[in-house]
Structure 1
Amino acid sequence: MPLKPITLYSHAGPNGWKVAFILEELGLPYTTKFIPFSVVRKEPYISINPNGRVPAIEDPNTNTTLWESGAILEYLVETYDRQEGNKERKISFAPGTPEYFEAKQWLHFQTSGQGPYFGQAVWFTVYHPEKLPSARERYIKEVRRVSGVLDGVLASRQYLVGGRFSYVDAAFITWFSVIPQFLSDAIDVERDFPNVSVWLGRLQSRPAIAKVVKERADVVASQFS
């Protein structure tokens, strides 16, 4: 029986597109509903995600509703990235293997480190009603720290886990896009973190990733032009 489309709730911000990458990489049918920033904390959306953020998904194939991007990525690969009789998954790793847990390590680093710190750097650069140079400086330093961790690791490998592309590589892509968009006066990824820059280029050459990157660019252009 063919799968029913998963509903992805998203907007122009980075987190929803992490989920779209994985849906595309796994070839899953889905539809995207864009939720304006002005209504994410109102009904009917907060009945889906009481935290009033995106992304969230509704999967009619399993009657599952989930929010928090990291949890959604884990759900998608553990539910749909399966090959019977083969421990080699397409974009994830077999449960119980060292790579399985290492992937979770990087996903936790992305959701607890990259996303919040990059987001706060943008907030104090663009959206905070007062100019607070010390706050901006703190979060710019954290963006550099997180990027430096990745750059050091990627000096000796092409992908984060297992020598091949996986879902945790994809999880980092969209937050790096805020640097040229909002933080270019302070950080140049190609110059400052060359291994990260090469890695991002490698990831974005994948057809599924390139498709979603283009779609997001179109949405961002339409909302912020």
Structure 2
Amino acid sequence: MSKPITLYSHGTGPNPWKVDLILRELNIPYETEWMDFADLKKEPFESKVSPNGRVPAIHDPNTNITLWESGAIIEYLVATYDKSAALTYTSSPEKYHVSQWLHFQMSGQGPYFGQAAWFWKFHQEQLPSAKERYFEQVKRVFYVLDKALKGKTWLVGDKCTIADLSFVTWDGMAAKMGIEKNYPDYYAWNQRLVARPSVQKMLKDKEAAMAAGH
């Protein structure tokens, strides 16, 4: 039996929960080490785990690898543990399309949704131009996904893959903006994802982690 992977996480950010979700989907044993924000920029975490001083990061004792960056971790977990290709494809062009959507999530969704949340909720000054800029980018991502999903159940092929699952945690944040129903194919896809048992369990555990102050 595999030794459990250590997942370095905190309760609030969407990216650690992306990795948590893939670990659940693949039934990989893991343990969560909750990190305080203040400790992310301190030693030994920065030098031993994540030079970027952020989570998620993992240490896999089965291969003795330490990784940071959620997309790289997801790709590693699939390559190492998804022997039946349950969450990906081994055929071309499907495997490259899965990678394409994973990279779009990391470059197109995560950064823009994060900036939208910052300027709408956390920034100390009200900057209407910044709020409008990132709100428009959130709508652009919804538009891209809605268009790609027209007449389809999943982003790639005929099954749910990491291409789909990687979007779930950030979509939950954007749902608070109340515009997702303007994109019906996107919205139906998101509802299919949220209905998955692994996602339901992850969302409950995230609530519990935040309530516990992680």
Task: Give TM class, smaller chain.
Answer: over 0.9
Partner of 2:22: 22
Letter in 2 for 1:91: L
Between the aligned partners of 1:131 and 1:223, the Cα distance in structure 2 is: 28
SS at match of 1:52: coil
- Larger RCO: 1 or 2 (CA < 8 Å, sep 6+): 2
Partner of 1:193: 183
Q: Structure 1, residues 74-120: CA drift from partner, whole Å, max 9, x if none?
A: 0000111113xxxxx111111x5211100010011000010000000
Between the aligned partners of 1:180 and 1:217, the Cα distance in structure 2 is: 16
Structure 2: which 5+ residue stretches go unaligned? none
Partner of 1:4: 3
Identity of aligned residues (%): 50
For 1:212, which of 202, 205, 211 is the aligned residue?
A: 202
Letter in 2 for 1:23: L
Deviation, structure 1 residue 221: 4.2
Partner of 2:88: 92
Q: How does 1:1-225 map to 2 (within 5 A)?
A: 2-11=1-10, 12-47=12-47, 48-83=49-84, 89-94=85-90, 97-181=92-176, 184=177, 187-190=178-181, 192-223=182-213
- 136-145 or 42-51, larger mean C-alpha shift: 42-51
TM-score norm. by structure 1 comes to 0.90
CA-based RMSD of the aligned residues comes to: 1.5
Aligned length in residues? 212
SS at match of 2:112: helix
TM-score norm. by structure 2 comes to 0.94
SS at match of 1:20: helix
SS at match of 2:98: helix
Between the aligned partners of 2:29 and 2:169, the Cα distance in structure 1 is: 21
CA distance 1:165–1:64, change in 2 (3 Å): same
- 36-45 or 60-69, larger mean C-alpha shift: 36-45
